[in-house]
Amino acid sequence: MKKLFSALLAGVMLTASSIGVYAADDTTIEIKTAKYDKTTEKVSVTGVIGNAASSQSLTVMSTGIKNEGFDMDTIVYIDQKDNFTVGADGSFSLDFYLSDSAVKGNNYFVRVGGTGIASPEHMAFLFSDSGDPEPDILYGDVNNDGVRDVNDAVMMLNYVLNPASANITDDGFKNAQINEEAKKPNEFTAADASMILKKVLDSNYNFPVERK
Ligand SMILES: [Ca+2]
């Protein structure tokens, strides 16, 4: 039934366009979502096509972003998908794959056009090629156990007194960056331990890095 309707509709549109009632390009597209999944390296795009052709073809392009426009020097994907399946309500979803090695930068456009679509649409998506996201910083959580308490002040003081005795991890050192200027591990002093203790005793106290 749906096929018959589509066929009829195509026939009507063909007639209509041949007598010039409609503009030739009366197919619209709207991209609803564009997301990247780092684990599967898959970009998933969803949207809606109005007046989709019975045999809809879509062109898909992905580029970097430069000056808020397409960066044609970084085309990372381009393809044409023929006989594309569009839902009865015009909805569509398409996937393509981008690997870390193909991509530089974090923000990309995906642009979708196709048969009869006069105005292709594009949407930005976030591509992270920087590995795992940075863990959340909890300033003062030197032992990186997710809690800021007196043990963190003690660990920092132990570290200052005897660096070899306290095993502060890389994430612990990130949490220890409570001063405005980043410190190297050998630059921490008892004052850092003191500030952490102050914060533990008074949550209203702001580390230098938290003051604006
Ligand atoms: Ca802690």
Domain final position from 93, 126, 159 = 126
Give the model's pLDDT for residue 20: 35
Of 29-33, 34-38, 55-59, the poorest mean pLDDT is in: 34-38
Q: How far, in Å, is the centroid of ligand 1 from the Cα of 129?
A: 30
**Same domain for 108 and 17?**
yes
Q: How far, in Å, is the centroid of ligand 1 from the Cα of 146?
A: 6
Domain range for 111: 2-126
**Same domain for 122 and 154?**
no
**Same domain for 38 and 107?**
yes
Taking residues 142-160, report their average pLDDT. Answer: 95
Q: How far, in Å, is the centroid of ligand 1 from the Cα of 130?
A: 26
Give the model's pLDDT for residue 102: 65
- 134: in domain: no
**Same domain for 10 and 85?**
yes
Domain final position from 126, 141, 164 = 126
Mean pLDDT, the chain, whole residue set: 84
Count of domains forming the chain: 2
**Same domain for 102 and 29?**
yes
Of 14-18, 118-122, 180-184, 187-191, the poorest mean pLDDT is in: 14-18
**Same domain for 111 and 10?**
yes
**Same domain for 20 and 92?**
yes
Q: How far, in Å, is the centroid of ligand 1 from the Cα of 140?
A: 7
Describe the strand order of the beta sheet including 91-97 as a list of residue ranges. Answer: 28-37, 42-50, 91-97
**Same domain for 156 and 113?**
no
Pairing of strands 107-114, 56-66: antiparallel
CA 21 vs CA 6, 13, 200: distances in Å: 19, 9, 74
- 140: in domain: no
Q: How far, in Å, is the centroid of ligand 1 from the Cα of 39?
A: 30
Compute the distance between CA of residue 102 and CA of residue 28 in angstroms, rounded to an integer: 31
* Angle (nearest 5°) at CA 123 between 133 and 74: 75
Give the model's pLDDT for residue 127: 79
- 90: in domain: yes
**Same domain for 115 and 55?**
yes
Q: How far, in Å, is the centroid of ligand 1 from the Cα of 212?
A: 24
**Same domain for 111 and 165?**
no
Give the model's pLDDT for residue 135: 61
CATH, residue 180: 1.10.1330
Q: How many CB atoms lie within 10 A of CB 121?
A: 15
Cβ-contact 108, 64 below 8 angstroms: yes
Q: Measured between alpha carbons, how far apart are the two ends of the chain, in Å? A: 66
Q: How far, in Å, is the centroid of ligand 1 from the Cα of 163?
A: 18
**Same domain for 117 and 35?**
yes
Q: How far, in Å, is the centroid of ligand 1 from the Cα of 131?
A: 25
CA 99 vs CA 57, 76, 77, 103, 166: distances in Å: 25, 9, 10, 7, 40
- The tens digit of pLDDT for each residue in 57-113 reads 999 999 988 888 999 988 999 999 998 889 999 999 999 998 766 677 778 999 999
Give the model's pLDDT for residue 134: 55
- 180: in domain: yes
Taking residues 159-168, report their average pLDDT. Answer: 92
Domain final position from 94, 126, 158 = 126
Q: How far, in Å, is the centroid of ligand 1 from the Cα of 180?
A: 20
Q: How far, in Å, is the centroid of ligand 1 from the Cα of 15?
A: 73
Q: How far, in Å, is the centroid of ligand 1 from the Cα of 150?
A: 8
**Same domain for 46 and 92?**
yes
pTM of the model: 0.51
Q: How far, in Å, is the centroid of ligand 1 from the Cα of 209?
A: 18
- 17: in domain: yes
CATH, residue 92: 2.60.40.1930
Q: How far, in Å, is the centroid of ligand 1 from the Cα of 138?
A: 9
For the cut 50, the answer to whether the pLDDT of residue 196 exceeds it is yes
Pairing of strands 56-66, 69-84: antiparallel
Give the model's pLDDT for residue 155: 96
